[in-house]
């Protein structure tokens, strides 16, 4: 084994987005591209000698090859030990769990989350700190700064490590320990939820269908739902992780999880349906023929938290991303606890959780979680819902409708326009900005604009400031239209439009969200001239 220092030159496109660096696989396969970025991570965090690193990913194409490169670079950069998920598989929530359980210095997670995989698909990499959460903006900016000036990286010339057999291998002076991260994660879930109650539910005729979408959660779902809770084997579908996710799009929404949706809305439907995404941190919850919006999901879980063992003593607070509906705010007010509104990105919840200010967190982009780890957690949300269903002995739909009857309904939808040419997307945003001075007080039918702004956030824990986090058009009745350019895609730009109105009248709660929001949708398209500037007649995805 020989330690080599390799001369290199910077790439100009390694700026991190909301969740790390995401590019097409061929971009990462360029000579020195991955190595430059990994060395910039190592140089920016300056881990002390003898540190332990966690490493793994969602199994997408290039996962194994990248792990081997990173292992050899970790050995050359002075790490004493690396914990790797068996087969290179490690869900994002499980990575956070392992970092916290074994008190490691941090971890590298290989994933492009809900983006498609395959030879020409997407790949991603991000660093999580010692609390198990995504790197702060201070860290990601430091990494980016180093990528622009890197001149060399360090790597050990050595044979590849066997990733499929649990045990320890020596790589130079560093130990590589292949671990069963599925058990570590499942053991944590057993401390939070009443597994005896869940076993009784699933053996009493209550049927579930979980779609792993050929992504990372298949092994985790099989261990928990089938092995530990006794659900039939066929309760978990698309359970084998594949490098191209079975040529599917591993995003758990009504559009991309259509196979599950057809089952849950079809004849002889199961009582409960759920799906998770590429790296296991997102979730979609369905009742029999009934879709639960992520915003409602956070609010319902918060309102019922004391029914679940891990949260029986109540919540310290709730946090939601700014585009997420205000449904959780109403629950927090009722419970007498704070509700924090943050920018999009789970890293903004980390400080709040570390400071003990919040217990539950959620984003409208199908992410929900709690302070048990420092990432959003798809399977955790599914187990939480099942525990609430078991404790209340009611259907998913009945629970949500009872929630609306008590708190009112925040009617909500998100319209995604994906892969728009960047210039056209920027024109849409500039079109809205240009109207700011004249919007306040302007009426559109029954809606009157109260204010228009670009959301900014000052972290109440460390005082850090984040600006330009999304355009908000706020109406006098509490309705909202929000526009954001997403940072999770790899091609062009994605414009997300979030629409929300509040409906206290139970007699109106049966309305389809798109019908109830039709006026706001028309206003959003008028304000943005999205069709004229992009040529797009319809959203790519509606959730």
Cβ-proximal residues to 205 (8 Å cutoff; 6+ apart), any chain: none
pLDDT at 138 over 90: no
Percent of the chain whose predicted confidence (pLDDT) is above 90: 92
**Phi then psi for 374, rounded to 5 degrees?**
-125, 35
pTM, to two decimals: 0.93
> SS3 for 88-129, per residue?
EECCHHHHHHHHHHCCCCEEEEECCCCCCCCCCCEEEEEEEC
19 — pLDDT class (breaks 50, 70, 90): confident
Q: Do domains 184-407 and 409-542 have the same CATH topology?
A: no
Across 72-93, average pLDDT: 97
136 — pLDDT class (breaks 50, 70, 90): confident
Helix (H) or strand (E) holding 473: strand 471-475
Report d(CA 252, CA 36) in Å as an integer.
32
489 — pLDDT class (breaks 50, 70, 90): low
For residues 344 and 76, the model is more confident at: 76
Contact between residue 299 and residue 327 where contact means Cβ atoms under 8 Å apart: yes
Q: What is the mean pLDDT of the chain?
A: 95
Q: With left for phi above 0 and alpha for psi between -120 and 50, is residue 202 left, alpha or beta?
A: alpha
Across 456-463, average pLDDT: 92
Domain boundaries, the chain: 2-179, 184-407, 409-542
For residues 478 and 270, the model is more confident at: 270
For strands 81-89 and 493-503, give the pairing.
unpaired
pLDDT at 487 over 60: no
CATH classification number, 409-542, choose in 1.20.1600.10, 3.30.310.50, 1.20.1630.10, 3.40.50.2300: 3.30.310.50
Question: In terms of CATH, what superfamily is 2-179?
Answer: Alpha-D-Glucose-1,6-Bisphosphate, subunit A, domain 3 (3.40.120.10)
pLDDT at 488 over 70: no
Report d(CA 68, CA 305) in Å as an integer.
42
Report d(CA 304, CA 381) in Å as an integer.
13
Q: How far is CA 145 from CA 29, 214, 215, in A?
A: 22, 36, 33
> pLDDT by residue (tens digit) across 339-382?
999 998 888 899 999 999 999 999 998 999 999 999 999 999 99
Q: What's the pLDDT at 486?
A: 78
Q: What's the pLDDT at 491?
A: 67
492 — pLDDT class (breaks 50, 70, 90): confident
Residues 294, 295, 301, 304, CA torsion sign? negative
> pLDDT by residue (tens digit) across 210-264?
999 999 999 999 999 999 999 999 999 999 999 999 999 999 999 899 999 999 9
Across 495-523, average pLDDT: 94
- CA atoms within 13 A of residue 51's CA, in its CB half-sphere: 21
For residues 18 and 523, the model is more confident at: 523
Q: What's the pLDDT at 526?
A: 95
Q: What's the pLDDT at 139?
A: 92
Contact between residue 541 and residue 416 where contact means Cβ atoms under 8 Å apart: yes
> SS3 for 292-309, per residue?
ECHHHHHHHHHHCHHHCH
Q: Class assignment of domain 184-407?
A: alpha beta
Percent of the chain whose predicted confidence (pLDDT) is above 70: 99
CA Rg value for the chain? 23
Kindly state the tokens that stand for 80. Answer: 């004493």
β strands within 142-297, DSSP E: 152-157, 167-171, 174-179, 208-211, 236-237, 272-276, 283-287, 290-292
Q: What's the pLDDT at 54?
A: 98
The residues carrying an active-site annotation are: 113
pLDDT at 490 over 60: no
């Amino acid at each position: 084994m020989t330690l080599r220092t390799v001369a290199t030159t910077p790439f100009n496109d390694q700026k991190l987005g909301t969740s790390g660096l995401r590019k097409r696989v061929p971009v990462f396969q360029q000579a020195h591209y991955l190595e430059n970025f990994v060395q910039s991570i190592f140089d920016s965090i300056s881990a002390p000698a003898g540190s332990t690193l966690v490493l793994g990913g969602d199994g997408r194409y290039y996962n194994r090859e990248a792990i081997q490169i990173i292992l050899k670079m970790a050995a050359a950069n002075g790490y004493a030990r690396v914990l790797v998920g068996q087969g290179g598989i490690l869900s994002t929530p499980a990575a956070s769990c392992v970092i916290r359980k074994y008190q490691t210095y941090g971890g590298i997670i290989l994933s492009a989350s809900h983006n498609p995989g395959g030879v020409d698909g997407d790949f991603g990499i991000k660093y999580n700190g010692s609390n198990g959460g995504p790197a702060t903006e201070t860290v990601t900016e430091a990494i980016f700064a180093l990528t622009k000036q890197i001149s060399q990286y360090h790597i050990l010339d050595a044979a590849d490590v066997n990733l499929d057999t649990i045990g320890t291998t020596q790589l130079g002076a560093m130990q590589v320990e292949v671990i069963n991260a599925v058990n570590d994660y499942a053991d944590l879930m057993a401390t939070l939820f009443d597994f005896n109650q869940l076993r009784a539910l699933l053996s009493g005729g209550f049927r579930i269908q979980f779609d792993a979408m050929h992504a990372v959660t298949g092994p985790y779902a099989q261990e928990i739902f089938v092995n530990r809770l006794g659900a039939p084997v066929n309760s978990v579908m698309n359970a084998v992780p594949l490098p191209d996710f079975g040529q599917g799009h591993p995003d758990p929404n009504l559009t991309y999880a259509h196979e599950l949706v057809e089952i849950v809305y079809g004849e002889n439907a199961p009582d409960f349906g759920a799906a998770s995404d590429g790296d296991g941190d997102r979730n979609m919850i369905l009742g029999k023929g009934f879709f639960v919006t992520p915003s409602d999901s956070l609010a319902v879980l918060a309102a019922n938290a004391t029914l679940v063992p891990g949260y029986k003593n109540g919540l310290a607070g709730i946090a939601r991303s700014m585009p997420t509906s205000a449904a959780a705010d109403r629950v927090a007010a009722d419970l007498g606890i704070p509700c924090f509104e943050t920018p999009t990105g789970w890293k903004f919840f980390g400080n709040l959780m570390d400071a003990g200010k919040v217990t539950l967190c959620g984003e409208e982009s199908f992410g929900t979680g709690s302070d048990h780890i420092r990432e959003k957690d798809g399977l955790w949300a599914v187990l939480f819902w099942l525990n609430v269903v078991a404790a209340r002995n009611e259907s998913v739909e009945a629970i949500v409708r009872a929630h609306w009857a008590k708190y009112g309904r925040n009617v909500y939808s998100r319209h995604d326009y994906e892969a728009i040419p960047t210039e056209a997307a920027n024109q849409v945003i500039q079109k809205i900005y240009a109207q700011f001075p004249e919007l306040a007080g302007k009426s559109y039918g029954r809606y009157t604009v109260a204010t228009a702004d670009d959301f900014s956030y000052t972290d109440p824990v460390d005082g850090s400031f984040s600006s330009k986090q999304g355009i908000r058009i706020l109406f006098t009745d509490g309705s909202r239209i929000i526009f954001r350019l997403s940072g999770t895609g790899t091609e062009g730009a994605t414009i997300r439009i979030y629409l929300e109105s509040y409906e206290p009248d139970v007699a109106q709660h049966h309305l389809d969200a798109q019908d109830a929001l039709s006026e706001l949708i028309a206003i959003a398209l008028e304000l943005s001239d999205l069709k004229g500037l992009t040529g797009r007649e319809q959203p790519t995805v509606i959730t």
